[in-house]
Amino acid sequence: MRTSILLADDDLDDTELFSEAVHEVDPTVLFYSAADGSEALSSLQSSEIENPNIIFLDINMPAVNGWECLKALKNDDRLSNIPVIIYSTSSAQRDKQMATDLGATYFLTKPEKYEELKKFLRHVLNNVGTPHKIPEYQK
């Protein structure tokens, strides 16, 4: 079975960069994107896309933000076991704590360097089968 990733992010440049990095790290990964949490939830709940192995959520998005989307995912029996990584420009401790409190698997501040993003994605893809925890990432 192929690994699949869903990214919900309203920044088209970030989404394109993320997609390119995923496919450079592993060209076999199925990559899905959504412009916000509402679109992500709709796609998942309607079975428009297969349940991904991992979901990346930006925090600040229109309509349904990352926090609201994370809450909805964790309250849906069919989706609650999918690991979720908050993927944000924020590095605030309160946001990291909120992510943990709401059930996120990991919090990643968007890397400044493309190679760092690829390194993190490689780390995630190597640990996709690890239930509910991605081993600590070393930069």
Q: What does the mean pLDDT of the chain come to?
A: 91
Angle of CA points 96, 59, 71, to nearest 5°: 80
Token output for 18:
């993320």
Measured at the alpha carbon of residue 9, what is the angle toward residues 72 and 28, in degrees to the nearest 5?
95
H-type helices in 10-92, by residue range? 12-25, 37-45, 66-74
Cβ-Cβ contacts under 8 Å for 2 (sequence gap 6 or more)? 28, 29, 30
Whether the per-residue pLDDT at 65 is higher than 80: the answer is: yes
Amino acid 49: pLDDT: 86
Tell me, what's the pLDDT at 2? 85
Q: pLDDT class for 139, splitting at 50, 70, 90?
A: low
Range 4-126 has CATH code 1.10.287.1260: no
Q: Read off the pLDDT band of 47 (50, 70, 90).
A: confident
Q: Does pLDDT of 132 surpass 90?
A: no
- Look at the block and give the residue holding tokens 């909805």: 72
The secondary element (H helix, E strand) that includes residue 7 is strand 4-8
Distance CA 139, CA 123 (A): 10
Question: Where do the structural domains in the chain lie, given as residue ranges?
Answer: 4-126
Which token pair is 45?
């709940």
Residue 133 binned pLDDT confidence (cut-offs 50, 70, 90) = low
In Å, what is the CA distance from 85 to each residue of 1, 53, 58, 96?
A: 21, 11, 9, 11
In sequence order, the β-bridge partners of residue 112 are none
